Structure 1
Amino acid sequence: MTTGAQINALWRHPIKGHGREELSSITLAAGQTMPWDRRWAVTHEGAKTDGSEWAPCANFSRGAKVPALMAISSVSDETAGTVTLSHPDRPDLTFDPDTDARAFLDWVRPLMPEDRAQSTGLVRAPDRGMTDTDFPSISLINMASNADLAMHLGESLSPLRWRGNILFEGALPWDEEKWIGQTLAIGDARLQVREPIVRCLATAANPDTGERDRDTLGGLDRLRGRQEFGIYAEVTQGGTISVGDRIELA
């Protein structure tokens, strides 16, 4: 069954809460997050995890508490095992998150407010990305829903605020909510839509400047009566997906 939607952009976030990376295509595996998405997470002084397994987002430094982090962009070199981070207020940093956490901590410290728990290390769960969900999720963002919310706010709204994996166009605003419980066919892959995404204060921050400049949560409350935007899905059949691929209901 057609949805009228197709992939507009693909993004992953190698270090949870610390940078986004645009892709043209990616190969998904059943039961896994997008490769190198949330591969690492940044613990803080109040963390109650050693990173050996999945843990809730409260254990990690993230944009909900530190809006400046939302302005980080990243580029991964999977062969070398390195990530390059960029931020308008910091020099670029290329490092191996598995072996050079100190270089990262020194780089990010000037972005951290003094009254917040400071970052303490980088962790990587051995078998999955450190998504906000307790299952390995892929997030999908409807560009038409973003445009509808922007119109309601009376202000421009970058879709990068939502930190999604798959951004799509061609569907009606909020159509994605009708897909919950259904299977999506995208390229060679199949994804089971599990649940809506409950949003946090990170989305209030401008992804170019790292400053809070939009009342996204209040806008969602007024427009939708709940702070949900986008959907989480789980890969049930692996395959390659690319920008321009159609999204169908299987």
Structure 2
Amino acid sequence: MATVAALWRHPIKGHGREALDTVTLTEGQTMPWDRRWAVAHEMSKADGTEWVPCANFSRGAKTGTLMAISAQVDEASGTVTLTHPDRPDLTFDPEREQDAFLDWVRPLMPADRAQSARLVRVPGRGMTDTDYPSISLINLASNDAMTEAMQQDISPLRWRGNIHLSGLDAWAEFDWVGHTLRIGEVELSVQEPIKRCLATTANPQTGERDADTLATLNNRFGHQDFGIYATVTRSGDIRVGDTVEPV
């Protein structure tokens, strides 16, 4: 029986993750506080009025060091605390203290990349990689298959998923595409597999690119996909330990 092993949100796209015990999902929306902000670089056209593709933002695919950021949200105050092994902790309000964030992240950005310029937020939705409000799910058994194939520890945090699943066979999640899942009180419509990028080659503890995940996916498993995207079709709560079943 498949169950929820972990829940994660990423308050600032590409800049940290936070573990949760429970979350309330709303029909047609992303996970609350997930990708609430995104970091537009100096060449970006993002202005916060609408969703735009990930190429407009600073992210782990271009800068592996960002993958080592952890985040914690204080929902009452609206502040975010960021930690990184090479930077002092930072607590700031993304709506009012952008300069503090930009000063903090600047040493993590390579000089030959477009530099982070501003935080943007689109009211009413998170800046997911999809042009629709999505929730991402990953199968821990598929992650174990990657660890075995690569003969090195592959942290599931490399995949930046929202919901981690246990109790499945490796790659069984792809059979759910086109189907509806019930998790706790929530129903999700599974849309498509997630095609992966260079962000997954970076270690989420150190930010160093130390694993050729893309070559392993392509050469050993015949695809570049890991995890699945879904949309919320019925609102409710999800908790760690909830069962997961096709409807």
What TM-score, normalized to structure 2?
0.99
Determine if the alignment matches structure 1 residue 161 to structure 2 residue 169: no
Which residue of structure 2 aligns with residue 181 of structure 1?
Answer: 178
Pick one of 2, 5, 19 that aligns with 2:2.
Answer: 5
- Tell me the secondary structure at the aligned position of residue 90 of structure 2: strand
Give the length in aligned residue pairs.
Answer: 247
C-alpha contact (below 8 Å) 1:149/1:223 kept by paired residues: no
- Tell me the secondary structure at the aligned position of residue 91 of structure 1: strand
Give 1:48 shift: 1.4
Pick one of 57, 60, 74 that aligns with 1:77.
Answer: 74
Q: How does 1:2-81 map to 2 (within 5 A)?
A: 4-81=1-78
Which residue of structure 1 aligns with residue 223 of structure 2?
Answer: 226
Amino acid in structure 2 at the alignment position of 1:96? D
State the Cα deviation string for residues 60-108 of structure 1 (Å, max 9, x = none): 0000000000000000011100000000000000000011100000000
For 1:243 and 1:85, the matched residues in 2 are separated by 24
For 1:199 and 1:35, the matched residues in 2 are separated by 23
For 1:223 and 1:190, the matched residues in 2 are separated by 33
Which residue of structure 2 aligns with residue 131 of structure 1?
Answer: 128
Give 1:155 shift: 1.1
Amino acid in structure 2 at the alignment position of 1:169? S
Amino acid in structure 2 at the alignment position of 1:196? P
For 2:122 and 2:206, the matched residues in 1 are separated by 30
- Tell me the secondary structure at the aligned position of residue 94 of structure 2: coil
For 2:165 and 2:101, the matched residues in 1 are separated by 33
Q: Which portions of structure 1, spanning 4 or more consecutive aligned residues, are displaced by more than 3 angstroms?
A: none
Q: Which residues of structure 1 form unaligned runs of 5+?
A: none
Amino acid in structure 2 at the alignment position of 1:97? P
For 2:15 and 2:173, the matched residues in 1 are separated by 27
C-alpha contact (below 8 Å) 1:5/1:169 kept by paired residues: yes
Determine if the alignment matches structure 1 residue 120 to structure 2 residue 117: yes
For 2:239 and 2:229, the matched residues in 1 are separated by 18
Which residue of structure 2 aligns with residue 197 of structure 1?
Answer: 194
What TM-score, normalized to structure 1?
0.98
Identity %: 65
Amino acid in structure 1 at the alignment position of 2:213? T
For 1:208 and 1:155, the matched residues in 2 are separated by 14
For 2:50 and 2:77, the matched residues in 1 are separated by 24
- Tell me the secondary structure at the aligned position of residue 197 of structure 1: strand
C-alpha contact (below 8 Å) 2:27/2:235 kept by paired residues: yes
Q: Which residues of structure 2 form unaligned runs of 5+?
A: none
Give 1:226 shift: 1.5
Which residue of structure 2 aligns with residue 105 of structure 1?
Answer: 102
Pick one of 205, 209, 234 that aligns with 2:206.
Answer: 209
- Tell me the secondary structure at the aligned position of residue 173 of structure 1: coil
Which residue of structure 2 aligns with residue 96 of structure 1?
Answer: 93
Q: What's the RMSD between the two structures over aligned residues?
A: 0.5
C-alpha contact (below 8 Å) 2:46/2:120 kept by paired residues: no
Which residue of structure 1 aligns with residue 148 of structure 2?
Answer: 151
Amino acid in structure 2 at the alignment position of 1:209? T
